[in-house]
Amino acid sequence: MALDIKAEIEKIIAQVTKDGDLKEKFMKDPAATVRGLVGDQADDDTIKKIIEMVKEAIGKSGGLSGLGEKITGVLGSILGKKDDDNDDKKEEKKDE
């Protein structure tokens, strides 16, 4: 089953902002914390994007306004990259 990245980001933000111990763990080792929460469903690039969005969300004192648009932008860059990779592979096969 595919990972719903937007849902994972929202879930992690909610968990980290409510749980002080989890927030401290995230601040010390964000990659391990996110990997522990999402498991092996996400590749390294996706983990980095999730960390970026969570850090931005918990760093804002004014709340989470505009976060949905940023998540959508991140998703577009992740999904677009994968689509571009697939297009490149298709082109390579054509050339052979």
Model pLDDT for residues 28-42, shown as the tens digit of each residue: 999 999 999 998 888
Residue with tokens 């592979």: 89
In angstroms, what CA-CA distances link 86 with 5, 26, 72?
A: 19, 33, 21
How many domains would you assign to the chain?
Answer: 1
The whole-angstrom distance between residue 72's C-alpha and the CA centroid of its chain comes to 11
Residue 53 has pLDDT above 80, yes or no: yes
Q: Tell me, yes or no, if the pTM score tops 0.75.
A: no
Half-sphere exposure of 95 (CA within 13 A, CB side): 6
Please report which confidence band the pLDDT of residue 61 belongs to, taking 50, 70 and 90 as the band edges. very low
